[in-house]
Chain A
Amino acid sequence: MNNSDLKSMWQDAHYKTSENYFSYDKLEEIMSLKHGKVISRSLLDLKLKILLYTLIFFIYLGLMIYAFIFLRLNISVKSIVPLALAGIFLLITATSEFLRFLVLTKTADNLSLKESSLVICKKLRRIKTTDFIIYIFFFYLSAALIIYNYLTDIGGFKNFSLSNEMVPVPLLGILILMLLSVPWFIKYLNNHRYKKLFSDLMDSIHQLND
């Protein structure tokens, strides 16, 4: 087989056969859709997950505000830590699904293949960085608020006790350390999660570089 055989083989394979996946009367119907059936179903699943996690997170947040601000509930740090962890978990789950949705819906179809890969890569990096900055802002602010509350003893923070015997400095310390490390942990998870997508993009860019 030589070079010219390739083209003739390709032409033979196509000009002698024709296939139709659907009637072209359905074209208008298809054009009115946002996505193809499978992708649409997958994105809907994702949207439902985001909605569910966000809803649970806001219910949780509402309950916390109601309990600590309106009812002025005074509970031990021992009880606050698991509550805070539950909140962190819900927030991370909701935002990571939202991030996945953003990544899946970013496109750049009108550009050349090389430019498209570069633009998508840039967009994804921006999404990841924004996500990281939001986490840093939220969790570092939370940690700063806890330290401030402890130092100024707002709401008798220093009187929180474990079995009414000791000052909860180690537990608070662990909680603060966890809050400070969450953004970095998420960054690691995201890097791991989108590793294949980024390596595919980089591979495409590399292959198209002269």
Chain B
Amino acid sequence: MEKEFIELIKSHQGILHKICNIYFLRDPYKEDYYQEILIRLWKSYPSFKNQSAFSTWLYRVALNTAIDIIRKQCLLPKHTELSIAEYNIAENRNNGESDKKDKLYLAINLLSEMEKAIIILYLEDFNYKEIAEITGISENYAGVRINRIKAQLIKILNHE
């Protein structure tokens, strides 16, 4: 099971990077949260019963974990201060990102946690049925929400 999981993660690694970039943009602990998502995926893996595509399941667990981390950050004891070296690593990584990517992520960052989840699923070409399955809303409402979020994003990007 372990090898199977590792193979699946390797072939879907891009998804996790995108989720981390959306939810933990500019967060110096992004790598740690990436690890946390991986660990929780592994813990949940026995419950994956091939009833849906692996990517659908992966998105569901990873989005739930990312949102859960953000929600509970206020309850965690203060983190140890970052060392200068760690801070520089985090900063340099951000400086290397393309302008276009940065602009898009910054615009998405202005959305609420649930809106971020819906828009990433839309941008990743999931259909309304799959979006409804992952988020728990109806297909019709998924369409309504996507249109609203898209309009909001375009407005933000056009204003920049």
**Interface residues, chain A, CB within 8 Å of chain B?**
1-3, 5-7, 9-10, 12-14, 16-22, 24, 27-28, 30-31, 33-39, 41-42, 45-46, 100, 103-104, 107-116, 120, 193-194, 196-197, 200-201, 203-204, 207-208, 210
Contacts and interface: CB of A to CB of B under 8 A. Distances in A.
21 contacts: A1-B154, A1-B158, A3-B150, A6-B150, A9-B104, A14-B18, A17-B98, A33-B39, A35-B39, A36-B39, A38-B32, A38-B79, A109-B61, A113-B114, A116-B64, A120-B68, A194-B75, A204-B113, A207-B115, A208-B136, A210-B137
Contacts of B85: none
Q: Which of B6, B13, B60, B136 has the most CB of A within 10 A?
A: B136
B76 A36 contact: no
A3 B122 CA distance: 11
Nearest to A10: B123
Contacts of B69: 39
Nearest to A37: B32
B53 interface: no
Interface in B90-123: 98, 100-101, 104, 112-115, 117, 123
Given A28-B6, A110-B44, A42 B77 contact: yes
B141 A109 contact: no
A207 B112 contact: yes
Contacts of A39: 32, 36, 69, 76
A170 B114 CA distance: 55
Contact of A42 (B64, B68, B79, B125): B79
B-side interface size class: 35 or more
Contacts of B67: 113, 204
Interface string B117-160: 10000010100000001111110110000000010011001100
B131 to A, nearest CB: 10
A197 B71 contact: yes
A80 to B, nearest CB: 34
A113 B77 contact: no
B32 A110 contact: no
Contacts of A100: 75
Given A35-B39, A36-B32, A114 B76 contact: no
A157 to B, nearest CB: 43
B17 A30 contact: no
| Residue of A103, A112, A114 with most chain B CB atoms under a 10 A cut-off | A112
Contacts of B44: 109-110
Given A21-B31, A114-B135, A109 B101 contact: no
Contact of B77 (A7, A13, A36, A45): A45
A21 B10 CA distance: 13
